[in-house]
Structure 1
Amino acid sequence: MALRDRFRRLVQKPGSVDLAPFRAVVEEAGRREDRIRRLTDAELTAASTPDLIADLAEFCAVGREAARRALGERPFDVQLTGTLALLAGHVAEMATGEGKTLAGALAAAGYALRGESVHVMSVNDYLARRDAEWMGPLYAMLEVSVASVGQASTPDERREAYRAGVLYAPVSEIGFDLLRDRLVTDPADAVQREARVALIDEADSVLVDEAMVPLVLAGAADLDPADPRYADLVRRLRPGLHYATDEEGRNVQLTAAGAREVERVLGLDLYAPENLATLTAVNVALHAEVLLHRDVDYIVRDGAVKLISESRGRVALLQRWPDGLQAAVEAKEELEASPSGEILDSITVQELIGRYPVRCGMTGTAMAVAGQLTEFYSLQIAVVPPNRPCVREDEPDRLYATTADKEVAVVEEIVAAHATGRPVLVGTGDVAESERLARRLVRAGVEPVVLNAKNDAEEAAIIAEAGAPGAVTVSTQMAGRGTDIRLGGGPAASAPGTAPAGRDGSGRDEVAAAGGLLVVGTGRYHSSRLDDQLRGRAGRQGDPGGSVFFTSLQDDLVTRFAPDETHKGPLGDDGRVDDKGAHWIVGHAQRVAEGVDLELHRNTWRYNQLIGLQRREVLAERDAVMTGDAADRATAADAPAGHAELTKIAGADAVAAAARQIVLFQLDRCWAEHLAFLADLREGIHLRSLGRGLDPLVEFNREAVPAGKRLLGDARRRSVAAFEDLTATEDGIDLDAAGLKRPSATWTYLVHDNPFGSLDERALRGLISMFKGRRR
């Protein structure tokens, strides 16, 4: 290996992809640029053939020129490097403001030119629609069809959109469409067509933070909402006397005195076997009352409970907690109960992404989760350097003994920066903290703009102005990912990558002279990657900027994940702590939190792997029934007399169609019942396993595997019984007699992670807590 190559690999980030081959292609593309520029528009478009992508240098040269003409933007060399990384099936790590959207569009076009259908997955409707429209002229010049899907799209609009070479859509909508297609009884009713490539925007958020979030298709069922009596009852219980809280394990339980009080109010023996449902309802209500906090875990908007995504700070659209907990929170807030129902099918985000033969993505913070991306998706990271070196100044953390001292220091820092005309973006932990800080700033004479889950619809407009002179923007973790913060501010409607009026004007010069955008974190998040995302809002494309995080030994991160660590060193007059050991505690707590999250991810994935395998077996059977004569042949073999008689009366085609509908119904029915069985099994398996020192996963598989093997046989037996009950006339077969009653209504939603975890997950947290804090 040449000395230069050895040096390059030495300085390259460990675990990252070697960029040298990509750079060589980009350099060759640069040498061809003059020739490509002399082409007419028609000649440029004519060059966009399947053969083009075979020569990557030619593709990059044509794509660069198409972007310049169609969008008014000439991609930088680093953007083309990112495009090539995506085309190679990697995750491209590109800093904020480096043009990921354009790099992704060129890669999607490249895949489409190869004849591979591409789904570009975003985190919300707004970004999917914006990027499809913004990149539309580029795709048109390259003769690649593009479309987008959102929550409001009709089935016909979806069906048409999925025919495009490149589809932009939220990952949830693609998952929901897949679930609905899995229950159609006529292939013509499906909206999706198989896609080969998943290109994921904000890849770390989708592939890690939301990997195990189940997307659910539910059907109407007669399930009772939470009884408001239980919400009223637990509201009157006193902490310490009637219940004990374990913040570390996110758990709460009745004390002996609390149980007696509940029994007195309800007039029953709470722990009698016949009152198990009541005991469960009281416990769920207690969890909702004590451990779930308004404006932290959820907000109330338009008469409904809206969950907040911990990783992004936004309202978690379409998400809800498991039905019992969701209903308990609604009863707590005295709201009308939202629809509940039976789960007909579900799929996790990780399983959804795993269906695509080719996976790639882009984000500003991938290396921090490189291990997980490799472990769960076989993805590698291509760390693409910025077009201009980052000159942002990242200060060391400022640590304080108490939350009160920290909050005073945060306000003083913001006020001082604001006085110089420097814009400040403040990242807070939750809605309540953002609003509390805003009130303190107003009292200090600063008028901030607050961006949190309560006004996330205005996110793009607010973030677009966060770089204006003297602007103070207080935000939750959402921090406007997907929208550039430009020094001097800019029109809210401007698309990322275009230069607003303030970019080259006096506003930008004024802000640059003041030091650029200052990012202030009011505490470390549970993941260092979220810290990096917030910090990365400043210093885009070589702009000046700075960041500083304020932490305290009373922060939730420390008290939950390093509760046994103490500090007795000296304090400054303002409560500031400079001792290295104290700073180690904060870092240690964050590392423990990251470790817990990773183990929970692995644990959940182990359970879902088996469920996914069982679902694939059912789907294979279902496809054979829906698209062939498997149902007709099976019923002819299992019920020959009835089959012959019905065929004689109604005809072979009518009997085959009836058999198909019966078998599809019974397969779907058995799968829904199997999902309910598995959910109950997993939630309770720890009682029989941990108590006896057994592995919960082994015990789960011991019962789940045989149940899965019985599923197809059960569906076949039910189908035969239903088929034998059919009656027919010359006008046709009476399917109503077979009891094929599907849900009167269906809807989709995401099950937000149970904030307390399933019981086995809580046990895992407790086990980890026994060992943490013991090593330095």
Structure 2
Amino acid sequence: MFDKLVKSVFGSSNDRYVKSLGKVVDKVNALEPMIEALSDEALQAQTDKFREQLDNGASLDDILPEAFATVREASKRVLGMRHFDVQLIGGIVLHRGEIAEMRTGEGKTLVATLATYLNAIEGKGVHVVTVNDYLARRDAEWMGQLYQWLGLTVGVIVPNMDEVSKRDAYNADITYGTNNEFGFDYLRDNMKHERSQMVQRPFNYAIVDEVDSILIDEARTPLIISGPTEDKSDLYVKLDAVAKEVPEDWYEKDEKTKNIQFTEDGLDGVEQMLADKGLLETDNLYDVENTQVVHHLDQAMKAVHMFRRDDHYIVKDDKVVIIDEFTGRMMDGRRWSNGLHQAVEAKEGVKIEPENQTMASITFQNYFRMYPKLSGMTGTAATEAAEFWDIYKVNVVEIPTNKPVARIDEEDEFYKNTMDKFQAIAKAIAEKQATGQPILVGTVSIEKSELLSQFLDKAGVKHEVLNARQHEREAHIVAQAGRLGAVTIATNMAGRGTDIQLGGNVEFRIEDELGDMEPGIAKDAEIERIREEVAAERAKVLEAGGLFVLGTERHESRRIDNQLRGRSGRQGDPGLSRFYLCLEDDLLRIFGPDTLFAKMMNSNLEDGEAIGSKWLSKAIETAQKKVEARNYDTRKQVVQYDDVMNDQRKVIYEQRAEIMDSEAVDDVVVDMRHDTINAIISSTCPPGSYPEQWDVEGLKEKLDEVFGIQPPIDQWMEEDEVDQEIFEERIRAQTDEMMEAKIAKYDAKIWRLVEKDILLRQLDHHWKEHLATLDALRQVIWMRGIAQKQPINEYKQEAFGLFETMLDTLREEVTKLLFKSELRMAQPEPQALPDLPDFLTGHIDPLTGLDNSADGDGSENRPELFGSLAGSPRAASGPGGANTDNPYAGQDISRNAPCPCGSGNKYKHCHGAAGARQSA
């Protein structure tokens, strides 16, 4: 009560902050007459002027008012749009590294041009992140006209681009792309063997469109790059058959977490079924030998009994395609991991692709936290403001609308069952369509949208269905959803990114109707006709009450409901919204009020009857808050586990970069050799122990295995003064002498390339194996909770130990390979090898079967763990002439390494082109 009183007198902190930004807006407006008077050439010259001011010590804040005024005037001339004052406020918020919450239709795309232009002037790069490739291309082309007119370069990142084009796009002043492409490019860059192959440059500033969808909804699932493992198709098919035969009373389902647990009788029954089919290695189901079968049986049970076709996935072109639960879009190329996708493929009888092993991974949280400055914009962020600050340290600022909102939000209507609800919806739609009012219907799944479509067909209501099946037509369907009497059924409107304009969208109508028409007087006349028709139709739609938004079900997130509602009432237009619910809705059935609520509904409602109540709406909101809290915990857990890995990832990626930048890594290799000797002696001759306690035979075997040497250990043991340090010094001297003699047999440059290549390859191999180990650890660490221990703390300790072990193993393997490797000449047939394999990319939910392979990492940021890797020398290259003969054929030289002849070209483009091949 006191808070409300204070707000009514002083306004909220958000109101006060927005009001304070009015002073900056006044400065921009004061400059408008001066900027308007500039010629096109003078206005375009502003960019060079700003760059000169920055070079002379000015800050971005110093030039902000004039830069914003320049963008506004350029937008008027190039795009025909002038920024409103509230849009200027949004631009300031974005520039300050905050999130601007702006209602749908308030022009967020135009708002972004202000902060984007200002920050791009520095030339360090601005990334504009969108939710899909269509929006990335559209915005890059649409707003790119403005930036290019002002002298800035614009690039766009889309899937399947060649690396040269992608590198050019990243080097542009402004780069558009999706969150997935930016993240995957970061991972791919850190799998390459030469700096010149990398496409990204250091991060500077990112503006995230639909920031709640990207940084909240999609952040529950890590990005994963993986490579294929062995084929187990036969096993998936057999276990799918078992899962389909399991009676319902043998298991219990948890729909919240999409998990299945066998009952005690069920375990006995399943064990017998598997034994009868010859799938068990031993008689006991839970023997170690049967681990793989048990794991894949769990996945088969989930696939058969928890994952529904046309809800969680669709089958398209004989492939299982995941459906994004938040946006309803197809996630082409994404695959559930841990065998779940294969289990679904077996269930649907399509071709089973092999499982994959994680090669690199990162969460969106840790990816976007690498940007020194991060901002975003959306229509709905306030409900998640605490999470944005907690995870990303970014504030949410609510920007006032340009015109007051005139939409009416009605109370929810409740029905007993789905049939009653859908009949009422069909009736309401038919009534509204008869008046000419356009209707946007929001559903939560493809299944529900197609069921409603059948009801509307029976009622004779003409309509469009927008879901994953119509992904290609998405923008065109949404753009015309505001036409007179239009009925559009949409699966989850989150992040659709296209305005619904009353009366229709002029640009899309021109494209659809006049796309093939040649420019000229006739086309101009047709364009004018379309404009007049849209204006007349808009007047009729306004008279009918504007857009009617009808929700067929409450989503588990209030933001998704608010996004749907926000499609109506654009820029002060009238509008109406209403949600229809029933007891069979997932939210009420799984998360909603208990059985008392259901009993009251059943006993007080007749078939087909509806009730509306603030108390019921409050109960729904409470259920949504519970789900949001659970989802937040899920995302926070993903971050906690990935934070453990993140420091390790930074160490590995920094060391890779140093190795790539180094001309030679001989000092690193020497330190690794000495560390390996130290480790061998410490393990076989522990410090503080007596010589009689040493494992002398183990020491001999290890030295022979790693270095191929047999020093006179027995003689050393007979000496009067015997200690570990003497052993270490003598073995170091012997191994150093051996390696110097070996290097002397080859060209020094060639050997340095061999060292570098082996070091990078071994680093990548052991990091990949480490990721797999952490993935396995993550899946079982929860069991420590049974012993009253905190799983995350246990995970940190175990992951730290595993990381140290990995580094020890890496040092030993590199040392062993360099001692055992011999370069020899060979003349194989020339062949072109790819610079980097085409890996599979995944963005998988760790809770629903989906994946945690990216989670894990543990130690604190300790580059010293890497030992000698921290001090690699920097690279230097020298000019030279190429020779068409190849004296280096058969030597172990990376195709992408500098050619040892000194030409400055890559080996594959110089002597390597003649057919040389490495052999070691």
TM-score (norm 2): 0.77
The residue type paired with residue 385 of structure 2 is: A
What is the alpha-carbon distance in structure 2 between the residues aligned to residue 66 and residue 23 of structure 1?
Answer: 22
1:720 to 793, 815, 821: 815
Give the aligned partner of residue 35 of structure 1: 34
Contact 1:666 1:718 in 2 (8 A): yes
1:66-77 alignment runs, 5 A limit:
66-77=74-85
Q: What do residues 547-600 of structure 1 show as CA deviations (whole Å, max 9, x unaligned)?
A: 111122331112211363522446354332345544333222111101111111
2:193 to 174, 182, 185: 185
Q: What do residues 28-49 of structure 1 show as CA deviations (whole Å, max 9, x unaligned)?
A: 2222212211111110011122
Contact 2:209 2:376 in 1 (8 A): yes
2:285 to 271, 275, 294: 271
The residue type paired with residue 505 of structure 1 is: A
What is the alpha-carbon distance in structure 1 between the residues aligned to residue 359 and residue 264 of structure 2?
Answer: 40
1:164 to 149, 159, 172: 172
What is the alpha-carbon distance in structure 2 between the residues aligned to residue 73 and residue 578 of structure 1?
Answer: 43
The residue type paired with residue 165 of structure 1 is: D
2:243 to 234, 238, 243: 234
Contact 1:218 1:345 in 2 (8 A): yes
What is the alpha-carbon distance in structure 1 between the residues aligned to residue 242 and residue 850 of structure 2?
Answer: 24
Give the aligned partner of residue 293 of structure 1: 308
SS at match of 1:362: strand
Give the aligned partner of residue 320 of structure 1: 335
1:86-235 alignment runs, 5 A limit:
86-225=94-233, 226-235=235-244
Q: Which moved more, 1:60-69 or 1:484-493?
A: 484-493
Q: Which moved more, 1:406-415 or 1:513-522?
A: 406-415
Q: What do residues 737-775 of structure 1 show as CA deviations (whole Å, max 9, x unaligned)?
A: xxxx999833132232146358999xxxxxxxxxxxxxx
SS at match of 1:346: strand
Q: What do residues 42-98 of structure 1 show as CA deviations (whole Å, max 9, x unaligned)?
A: 100111222385322211211101111111111111111111111111111111111
Q: What do residues 355-395 of structure 1 show as CA deviations (whole Å, max 9, x unaligned)?
A: 11110111111111111110000001121111111111111
Relative distance call for 1:486 and 1:479 in structure 2 (3 A) is: farther
What is the alpha-carbon distance in structure 2 between the residues aligned to residue 653 and residue 232 of structure 1?
Answer: 59
What is the alpha-carbon distance in structure 1 between the residues aligned to residue 840 and residue 21 of structure 2?
Answer: 42
Relative distance call for 1:47 and 1:79 in structure 2 (3 A) is: same
Give the aligned partner of residue 798 of structure 2: 703
1:605 to 632, 639, 643: 639
Q: What do residues 596-637 of structure 1 show as CA deviations (whole Å, max 9, x unaligned)?
A: 111111111111101111111112222222212573212245
- Give 1:718 deviation, angstroms: 0.9
- Give 1:536 deviation, angstroms: 0.4
Relative distance call for 1:742 and 1:346 in structure 2 (3 A) is: farther
Give the aligned partner of residue 336 of structure 1: 351
Contact 2:412 2:612 in 1 (8 A): no
- Give 1:122 deviation, angstroms: 0.8
Give the aligned partner of residue 678 of structure 2: none
Q: Which moved more, 1:48-57 or 1:458-467?
A: 48-57
What is the alpha-carbon distance in structure 2 between the residues aligned to residue 478 and residue 338 of structure 1?
Answer: 32
The residue type paired with residue 128 of structure 1 is: A
2:575 to 545, 553, 558: 545
- Give 1:349 deviation, angstroms: 1.2
Relative distance call for 1:760 and 1:589 in structure 2 (3 A) is: farther
- Give 1:336 deviation, angstroms: 0.7
Give the aligned partner of residue 45 of structure 2: 46
What is the alpha-carbon distance in structure 2 between the residues aligned to residue 275 and residue 17 of structure 1?
Answer: 64
TM-score (norm 1): 0.91
Relative distance call for 1:209 and 1:495 in structure 2 (3 A) is: farther
Q: Which moved more, 1:478-487 or 1:699-708?
A: 478-487
2:757 is the alignment partner of 1:746: no
SS at match of 2:478: helix
- Give 1:299 deviation, angstroms: 0.7
What is the alpha-carbon distance in structure 2 between the residues aligned to residue 148 and residue 558 of structure 1?
Answer: 43
Contact 1:460 1:492 in 2 (8 A): no
SS at match of 1:694: coil
Q: What do residues 255-285 of structure 1 show as CA deviations (whole Å, max 9, x unaligned)?
A: 4554455424425546151323222222211
1:753-772 alignment runs, 5 A limit:
753-754=845-846, 756=848
Gaps of 5+ in 1: 1-5, 735-740, 762-776
1:632 to 666, 669, 683: 666
Contact 2:44 2:151 in 1 (8 A): yes
Relative distance call for 1:546 and 1:412 in structure 2 (3 A) is: same
Relative distance call for 1:217 and 1:654 in structure 2 (3 A) is: same
Q: Which moved more, 1:522-531 or 1:112-121?
A: 112-121
SS at match of 2:581: strand
2:691 is the alignment partner of 1:683: no
Q: What do residues 297-336 of structure 1 show as CA deviations (whole Å, max 9, x unaligned)?
A: 0111111111111111111233211140010001111111
What is the alpha-carbon distance in structure 2 between the residues aligned to residue 623 and residue 366 of structure 1?
Answer: 37
Give the aligned partner of residue 585 of structure 1: 619
The residue type paired with residue 524 of structure 1 is: R
SS at match of 2:777: helix
What is the alpha-carbon distance in structure 2 between the residues aligned to residue 759 and residue 321 of structure 1?
Answer: 7
Give the aligned partner of residue 737 of structure 1: none
Q: Which moved more, 1:580-589 or 1:352-361?
A: 580-589
Relative distance call for 1:465 and 1:742 in structure 2 (3 A) is: closer
Q: Which moved more, 1:510-519 or 1:311-320?
A: 311-320
The residue type paired with residue 560 of structure 2 is: L
SS at match of 1:723: helix
2:547 is the alignment partner of 1:517: yes
Give the aligned partner of residue 396 of structure 2: 381
Q: Which moved more, 1:605-614 or 1:556-565?
A: 556-565
What is the alpha-carbon distance in structure 2 between the residues aligned to residue 601 and residue 503 of structure 1?
Answer: 48
SS at match of 1:393: strand
Q: What do residues 453-491 of structure 1 show as CA deviations (whole Å, max 9, x unaligned)?
A: 111111000001100111100111036621000001124
1:248-647 alignment runs, 5 A limit:
248-256=256-264, 258-262=266-270, 263-264=272-273, 265-267=276-278, 269=283, 271-273=285-287, 274-478=289-493, 481-491=496-506, 493=508, 501=531, 505-562=535-592, 564-567=594-597, 568-569=599-600, 571-573=604-606, 574-578=608-612, 580-628=614-662, 631-637=665-671, 638=673, 640-647=736-743
What is the alpha-carbon distance in structure 2 between the residues aligned to residue 614 and residue 588 of structure 1?
Answer: 40
What is the alpha-carbon distance in structure 2 between the residues aligned to residue 743 and residue 152 of structure 1?
Answer: 15
What is the alpha-carbon distance in structure 2 between the residues aligned to residue 502 and residue 235 of structure 1?
Answer: 60
Q: What do residues 615-663 of structure 1 show as CA deviations (whole Å, max 9, x unaligned)?
A: 1111222222221257321224525335423432222221211111111
Give the aligned partner of residue 88 of structure 2: 80
Q: What do residues 429-476 of structure 1 show as CA deviations (whole Å, max 9, x unaligned)?
A: 100000000100110110210001111111000001100111100111
Q: Which moved more, 1:473-482 or 1:353-362?
A: 473-482
Relative distance call for 1:192 and 1:361 in structure 2 (3 A) is: same
What is the alpha-carbon distance in structure 2 between the residues aligned to residue 248 and residue 163 of structure 1?
Answer: 44
Give the aligned partner of residue 651 of structure 1: 747
Identity across aligned pairs (percent)? 35
